[in-house]
Amino acid sequence: MNAPVTVNIPIYLDYLSTTPVDPRVVAAMTACMSTEGVYGNAASRSHVFGWQAEEAVENARSQVAELINADPREIVWTSGATESDNLAIKGVAHFYHKKGKHIVTSKIEHKAVLDTCRQLEREGYEVTYLDPNEQGLTTPEMVQAALREDTILASVMHANNEIGVVNDIAGIGEICRAAGVLFHVDGAQGVGKIPVDMEQMKVDLLSMSAHKMYGPKGVGALYVRRKPRVRLEAQMHGGGHERGMRSGTLATHQLVGFGEAARIAHEEMATESAQLEALRERFWDAISDIPEVYINGDREQRLPGALNVSFAFVEGESLIMSLRDLAISSGSACTSASLEPSYVLRALGLNDEMAHSSLRFSFGRFTTEAEVDHAVQCVRHAVEKLRELSPLWDMFQDGVDLSTIEWAAH
């Protein structure tokens, strides 16, 4: 007789928000953090401690460059994707402002891009925020239509952090290159999970984050193309590290961890991606027969381990409360003291109640089938219970069209 498979509760299904550090990465990092380890300053040129640190950092740089098929000299270390986004967008805007002051981006970018663009607007730049289509995609045609004489930069994310859809970065790159507009991609959610190739894609700047690919938090990188050369105005001034683009002593252990995480991601991407897609489909197959349940965002063009689902007539925050066994996040921003539902789902054209009723499930390297199966049971039970409690579900069952009712907004 088979022993029942046990799962550890709570089950982590929030890999898009962050990932645990892979044990192999921990081992590589730990080796940098002892008195016997590589503790020198990579910028020290006068002794072996510095040389060793430099070698470790450069090795990591090569590993990250290999992951995206770039030249190591095109990798600039940063503290994470937020800093990379800031450096790319402000750096380009400030360097090329004499050429033009118009930037194109989408409404469903990460806040690190949106808030940076808002700041540039305050400085006198003009920004066009594109509406994605109903599938959550920003297409090359949309970007093409938004470009102007004075456009200097387009910034479009590779994969969306809330709904997991993947944009046609190669296609947008072609449009931008032909128009002489620099193209920045927030690659935080895509790099390490799906193939990215800087030789093939006409991307000029690419933001990356270590902690989304089983590396440590607090470290990231910005890819800056050399041919044709992209210039940036530094945002952080100091010792002229990273070819003057980002000063500050390099955090050897963090970078070594990022490098190792990139190496693993590169080597295991194909198998891991197939595995995650299988888990995602296993999950969806087991819940898709619940009535009035919908996937948000394009069904095909999406990250292998990510699913954003709306459970109509059930409110997201109470659903999460019911799903105590699962570590997941709500597409609804209710928990952050705001009554506004997710700006991403709104931009897709979802009505408010559907946006309020959505959850993001993201599976990762350490997710098991048993965990997915337990998650399915929890979700089915919670949705059934909350619909039993929902006056909207009652009305829907009675054939009432909710959009015809005049609600008293509060």
Partner 1 sequence: MAYSDKVIDHYENPRNVGKFDEADESIGTGMVGAPACGDVMRLQIQVSDDGIIEDAKFKTYGCGSAIASSSLLTEWVKGKNLDEAASIKNTEIAQELSLPPVKIHCSVLAEDAIKAAVQNYREKQDS
Catalytic site positions:
334
Positions in 19-78 near partner 1 (CB under 8 A)? none
Contact between 172 and 187 (Cβ < 8 Å) = no
Helix 23-30 to helix 252-287 angle, to the nearest 10 degrees? 170
Please identify, using beta-carbon distances, which residue of 154 and 379 lies nearer to partner 1: 379
Closest approach of Cβ 203 to partner 1, in Å?
38
**379 is a contact residue toward partner 1 (CB under 8 A):** no
What the block records as the tokens of 284 is 């969806």
356 lies in the binding site for partner 1 (CB under 8 A) = yes
What is the DSSP secondary-structure string of 105-122? EETTS-HHHHHHHHHHHH
| Residue number with CB closer to partner 1 (199 or 406) | 406
For 82, 132, 173, 257, the CA distances from 154, given in Å and listed in that order, are 17, 14, 9, 31
- Residue 147's nearest CA partner among 108, 184, 119, 181 is 181
Query: CB of residue 384 vs partner 1: minimum separation in angstroms?
Result: 13
181 vs 146: CA distance, rounded Å: 12
Q: Which residues contact 229 (CB under 8 A, 6 or more apart)?
A: none
Q: Which of 341, 350, 361, 362 binds partner 1 (CB under 8 A)?
A: 341
Task: Examine residue 409 and tell whether it contacts partner 1 (CB under 8 A).
Answer: yes
Please report whether residue 145 would count as binding partner 1 according to CB under 8 A: no
d(CA 240, CA 80): 19
Tell me how far, at minimum, the Cβ of 218 lies from partner 1, in Å.
Answer: 26
**Which of 78-86, 229-237, 280-288, 313-321 is the region at the interface with partner 1 (rule: CB under 8 A)?**
313-321
The nearer residue to partner 1, 15 or 393, going by C-beta atoms, is: 393
**Site size with partner 1, rule: CB under 8 A:** 29
State the nearest-atom distance from the C-beta of 337 to partner 1, in Å. Answer: 4
Q: How far is the CB of 107 from partner 1 (least distance, A)?
A: 19
* CA dist 218 → 84, 92, 250, 312 (Å): 12, 23, 12, 37
Cα-to-chain-centroid distance, residue 403: 33
Using the rule CB under 8 A, is 392 a contact of partner 1? yes
Counting contacts by CB under 8 A, is residue 9 touching partner 1?
A: no
339 lines the binding site for partner 1 (CB under 8 A): yes
Neighbours of 115 (CB within 10 A): 14
DSSP state of 131: P
Q: Which two tokens stand for residue 393?
A: 């579900």
* Residue 407 interacting with partner 1 (CB under 8 A): yes
Site string for partner 1, 181-220 (x = CB under 8 A): ----------------------------------------
Range in contact with partner 1 (rule: CB under 8 A) among 136-144, 248-256, 297-305, 391-399: 391-399
Nearer to partner 1, 9 or 33 (CB): 9
Q: How many helices (H) and strands (E) does the chain have?
A: 12, 13
Q: Which is nearer to partner 1, 242 or 315 (CB)?
A: 315
Q: Does 313 bind partner 1 (CB under 8 A)?
A: yes
Residue 334 contacts partner 1 per CB under 8 A: yes
* Candidates 20-28, 166-174, 374-382, 387-395; binding stretch for partner 1 (CB under 8 A): 387-395
Which of 35, 338 has the CB closer to partner 1? Answer: 338
**Binding-site member from 109, 260, 298, 315 for partner 1 (CB under 8 A):** 315
User: Are the C-beta atoms of residues 11 and 325 closer than 8 Å to each other?
Assistant: yes
CA distance 331 to 294: 13
Name which position in 126, 233, 317, 373 contacts partner 1 (CB under 8 A).
317
Terminal CA-CA length for the chain: 57
> Under the criterion CB under 8 A, does residue 402 sit at the interface with partner 1?
yes
Look at residues 206, 92, 201 and name the one whose alpha carbon lies nearest to residue 157: 206
Of 198, 202, 402, 166, the residue nearest 292 (C-alpha): 402
Residues in a beta bridge with 77: 221
314, 326, 372, 375: which one binds partner 1 (CB under 8 A): 314
CA–CA distance, 218 with 230 (Å, rounded to integer): 25
Interface with partner 1 includes 321 (CB under 8 A)? yes
The residues facing 155 across adjacent strands are 105, 184
Binding site for partner 1 (CB under 8 A): 313-318, 321, 332, 334-335, 337, 339, 341, 351-353, 356, 388-394, 402, 407-410
